[in-house]
């Protein structure tokens, strides 16, 4: 049921409409399934994000125009869904825009927090931290 | 059918709640158990009526607190059939108990080249303290291998493995796979070659009758919170002859008999190993928990636990693409499993949405999971207050979860 979404507004609206946990998680899982594939070679120790009970890999790729494309993957469906949401928040932005974005506030709009254990939340937090760290490095190199 | 009536659940306030709009199904008992009102009342009563510092006080409350604390020591000794009350050292739990043995007996008795024999089933708490000791002393670790998914110990070469061993330390029941190990036989074999033995009873204490004299071990460790008691209290059984030879664990009050500016004389065992103000309220709660369990009967509890594990295993085996771990017989009350192409994290997250609490991960047995070739397993662990209908609910929830994830 997931379609191409243009903004977090649209995503938040969809979550709001879905109401019960089953459809919300189903939707999240579907978003994860549509995640652009990550090269197997990129799913390496160097790109590993720790802090989640599942395996997560993430790579930031700066484009010629200064925008940063993020590719990421996980071996758990729900985490892949969360990655899809994170990409919606961060991917395609410049390093400075990434650093200026309050990712936690965006995630809170989806009202998923109550459904996710602290461990999972830590996993999310770890992913947000990693995006920011990598963006900082990219920003410094420009 | 189990001899334990379902109304026993009424004794546990935490069980009577809804999680995400569904009745709680608590299947994470290997991690910690829920507490009956009798335990909660004992802790409350202690603080409301008897709270004081123990041992040297002259006043009435201190006498009561001492009686509470030392009474719990008697009760623990009785619970595991220790020859004497002095054999019991109170600790924060199993982890601290094993660390205490490593830091005292281990440091005094193990040197370069000495062999510590463990099993591949061990919880990190019966592995990492020995690794730290190895770093300090140059001793070495050796492991009794596990056969595979069924998780039993491969004892075919035990004689070779035991050669030159100074310490055998092993788990009674595996927290990850549920294997019930033949600890009495192994301790006898180890002692025959002069080795000292330690049994990690974290998963067996409160789950089956424990008798340290029948097991024949030198040390045995368990935690209060895994047998209906409070967190932060546990016990180490340590044979007195060994305690006499062990240096102190931590320094401070309670563990000394005479202190001068430059040296001290130490209190007699077990007090020598209990520095500082002890967890008296915890001891009161632990005492109440042991009374509670003995009133139910540990044979009944063991029968109930294993019957539920058996039933869950049967029900789970009906799922397509499931891989179930642990032995068919000689087991404790838990079942571990994974599904092909389904991450355990997804499973547990969605089960929680429906009120079912299970644990996933490596269960503090990372090397064992490495050997089995799985990053994580899902584990449902039972106690006497769990029911067959809860297992049915768990299976129904799993069916729904799998459907959602496929």
Instruction: Report chain B residues whose CB lies below 8 A from the CB of A78.
Output: 345-346, 349-350
Q: Percentage of residues in chain B with pLDDT exceeding 90?
A: 93
DSSP state of B232: T
- Cα gap B295→B293, rounded to integer Å: 5
Residue B317 in tokens = 């085996």
Chain-chain contact of B345 with A21 (C-beta, under 8 angstroms)? no
Q: In the annotation, is B364 catalytic?
A: yes
**Helix (H) or strand (E) run with residue B192 in it:** helix B183-192
Taking the Cβ of residue B346 and every Cβ of chain A, the question of whether any pair is shorter than 8 Å is answered with: yes
Tens digits of pLDDT across chain A (142 residues): 444 456 788 888 888 888 788 888 899 899 999 999 999 999 999 999 987 788 899 998 888 898 999 999 999 998 999 899 889 889 899 999 999 988 877 877 776 655 565 555 567 778 888 888 888 887 766 5
Question: Is the per-residue pLDDT at B32 higher than 70?
Answer: yes
Last residue of a domain, which of B236, B261, B295? B295
**What torsion, rounded to 10 degrees, do the Cα atoms B314, B317, B319, B321 define?**
160
- Cα gap A85→A128, rounded to integer Å: 11
Last residue of a domain, which of B295, B322, B346? B295
Q: Which of A29, A53, A77 sits opposite B360 (nearest CB)?
A: A53
Last residue of a domain, which of B239, B263, B295? B295
Q: Are residues B311 and B291 in the same domain?
A: no
CA torsion through residues B60, B66, B72, B76, sign: negative
Chain-chain contact of A78 with B375 (C-beta, under 8 angstroms)? no
Instruction: Report chain B residues whose CB lies below 8 A from the CB of A26.
Output: 404
Domain chopping of chain A, boundaries: 8-141
Q: Please give the span between the terminal C-alpha atoms of chain B, in angstroms, as a whole number.
A: 36
Q: Are residues B214 and B347 in the same domain?
A: no
Tens of pLDDT, residues B97-129: 999 999 999 999 999 999 999 999 999 999 999
**Helix (H) or strand (E) run with residue A132 in it:** helix A118-141
Tens of pLDDT, residues B204-247: 999 999 999 999 999 999 999 999 999 999 999 999 999 999 99
| Domain CATH number, residue B167 | 3.40.640.10
State the ipTM, two decimals: 0.85
Q: Which of B343, B350, B353 sits opposite A75 (nearest CB)?
A: B343
Query: Where in the sequence is the domain holding B323, given as residue range(s)?
Result: 6-31+298-405
DSSP state of B248: P
Query: Is residue B295 left, alpha or beta, with left meaning phi > 0 and alpha meaning psi from -120 to 50?
Result: alpha
Burial class for B40, CB neighbours closer than 10 Å (0-12, 13-18, 19+): middle
Burial class for B263, CB neighbours closer than 10 Å (0-12, 13-18, 19+): exposed
Tens of pLDDT, residues B308-365: 999 999 999 999 999 999 998 889 999 999 999 899 999 999 999 999 999 998 888 8
Residues of A known to be catalytic: 52
Taking the Cβ of residue A126 and every Cβ of chain B, the question of whether any pair is shorter than 8 Å is answered with: no
Give pLDDT, residue A119.
Answer: 58
| B323: in domain | yes
| B1: in domain | no
What domain count does chain B have?
2
Return the half-sphere exposure (C-beta side, CA atoms, 13 A cut-off) of residue B350.
29
Instruction: Report chain B residues whose CB lies below 8 A from the CB of A76.
Output: 343, 345-346
Tokens 């049967």, located at residue = B314
CATH number of A8-141: 1.10.357.10, 3.40.50.150, 3.90.1010.10, 1.25.10.10? 3.90.1010.10
Closest CA to B356 of B319, B310, B398: B398
Taking the Cβ of residue A49 and every Cβ of chain B, the question of whether any pair is shorter than 8 Å is answered with: no
Tens of pLDDT, residues B257-266: 999 999 999 9
Q: φ, ψ for residue B181 (rounded to 5)? A: -85, 150
Give pLDDT, residue A11.
Answer: 85
| Domain CATH number, residue B391 | 3.90.1150.10
Taking the Cβ of residue A29 and every Cβ of chain B, the question of whether any pair is shorter than 8 Å is answered with: yes
Taking the Cβ of residue B163 and every Cβ of chain A, the question of whether any pair is shorter than 8 Å is answered with: no
- Cα gap A28→A77, rounded to integer Å: 8
Tokens 């662990």, located at residue = B381
The three-class DSSP label of residue A6 is: coil
Give pLDDT, residue A1.
Answer: 40
């Amino acid at each position: 049921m997931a379609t191409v979404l243009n903004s977090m507004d649209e995503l938040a609206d969809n979550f709001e409409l879905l109401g019960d946990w089953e459809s919300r998680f189903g939707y999240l899982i579907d978003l994860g399934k549509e995640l652009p594939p990550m090269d197997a070679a990129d799913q390496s120790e160097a790109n590993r994000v720790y802090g989640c009970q599942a395996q997560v890999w993430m790579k930031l790729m700066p484009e010629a125009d200064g925008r940063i494309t993020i590719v990421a993957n996980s071996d758990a469906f729900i985490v892949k869904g969360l990655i899809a949401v994170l990409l919606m928040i961060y991917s395609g932005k410049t390093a400075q825009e990434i650093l200026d974005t309050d990712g936690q506030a965006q995630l809170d709009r989806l009202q998923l927090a109550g459904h996710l254990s602290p461990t999972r939340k830590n996993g999310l937090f770890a992913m947000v931290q990693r995006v920011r760290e990598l963006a900082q490095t990219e920003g410094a190199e420009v | 059918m189990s001899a334990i009536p379902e109304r026993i659940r009424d004794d546990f306030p935490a069980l009577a709640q809804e999680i995400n709009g569904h009745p709680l199904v608590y299947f994470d008992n290997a991690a910690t158990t829920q507490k009956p009102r009798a335990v909660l009342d004992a802790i409350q009563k202690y603080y409301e009526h008897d709270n004081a510092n123990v041992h040297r006080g002259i006043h009435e409350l201190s006498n009561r607190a001492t009686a509470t604390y030392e009474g719990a020591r008697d009760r623990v000794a009785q619970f595991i059939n220790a020859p004497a009350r002095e054999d019991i050292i109170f600790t924060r739990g199993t982890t601290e108990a094993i660390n205490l043995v490593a830091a005292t007996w281990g440091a005094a008795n193990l040197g370069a080249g000495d062999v510590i024999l463990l099993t591949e089933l061990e919880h990190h708490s019966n592995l990492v303290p020995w690794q730290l000791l190895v770093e300090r002393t140059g001793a070495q670790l050796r492991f009794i291998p596990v056969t595979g998914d069924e998780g039993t110990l491969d004892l075919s070469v035990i004689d070779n493995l035991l050669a030159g061993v100074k310490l055998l330390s092993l788990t009674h029941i595996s927290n990850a796979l549920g294997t019930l190990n033949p600890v009495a036989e192994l301790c006898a074999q180890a002692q025959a070659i002069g080795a000292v033995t330690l049994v990690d009873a974290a998963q067996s204490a409160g789950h089956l009758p424990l008798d340290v004299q029948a097991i024949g071990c030198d040390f045995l460790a368990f935690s209060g919170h895994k047998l209906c008691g409070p967190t932060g209290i546990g016990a180490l059984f340590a044979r007195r002859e060994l305690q006499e030879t062990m240096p102190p664990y931590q320094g401070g009050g309670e563990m000394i008999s005479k202190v001068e500016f430059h040296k001290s004389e130490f209190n007699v065992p077990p007090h020598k190993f209990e520095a500082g103000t002890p967890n008296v309220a915890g001891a009161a709660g632990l005492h109440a928990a042991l009374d509670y369990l003995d009133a139910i009967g540990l044979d009944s509890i063991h029968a109930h636990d294993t019957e539920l594990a058996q039933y869950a295993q049967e029900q789970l085996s009906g799922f397509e693409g499931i891989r179930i771990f642990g032995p068919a017989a000689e087991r404790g009350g838990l079942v571990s499993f994974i599904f092909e192409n389904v991450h355990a994290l997804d499973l547990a997250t969605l089960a929680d949405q429906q009120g079912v609490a299970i644990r996933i991960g490596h269960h503090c047995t990372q090397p064992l999971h490495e050997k089995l070739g799985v990053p994580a397993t899902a584990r449902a662990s039972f106690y006497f207050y769990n029911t067959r209908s809860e297992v049915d609910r768990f299976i129904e929830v799993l069916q729904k979860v799998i459907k959602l994830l496929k």
